[in-house]
Amino acid sequence: MIRNTVDANSINAYIAVTPGNGVTFQRRTTTGGSSVSTKIAGITAPYWVKLVRSGNTFTAFCSSDGVTWTQVDTASITMNSTVYVDWL
């Protein structure tokens, strides 16, 4: 997850693999706004995910082997130049 601030309602972008949703790219583009998700069902861990930021463009990817990557989705999200990154 990449967050604009540490506030609970912060702008953010997030990618994960979960048993119920497969690969999910979730983002909130405005402070306090609703989150939007793009999901690829049927994928289960272990699986690789990565989130790439280039300026205000955030692109989510997934991979079964960490070598060949599939783009999940991309989003334009305005964040500060200094952000917070969280990973598990």
Q: What is the pLDDT of residues 14-54, one digit of tens each?
A: 999 988 889 999 999 999 999 999 999 999 889 999 999 99
Mean pLDDT of the chain: 95
Q: How much is the pTM?
A: 0.92
Task: Please check whether residue 82 is in contact with residue 3, taking contact to mean a CB–CB distance below 8 angstroms.
Answer: no
Q: How many distinct structural domains can be found in the chain?
A: 1
Tokens for 76? 């334009």
Whether residue 87 is contained in a domain is answered as no
Tokens for 6? 């540490």
Whether residue 30 is contained in a domain is answered as yes
Domain of residue 68: give its range: 2-81
Q: What is the pLDDT of residue 65?
A: 96
Q: Is 58 exposed, middle or buried (0-12, 13-18, 19+ CB in 10 A)?
A: buried
Supply the DSSP symbol for 69: -
Whether residue 88 is contained in a domain is answered as no
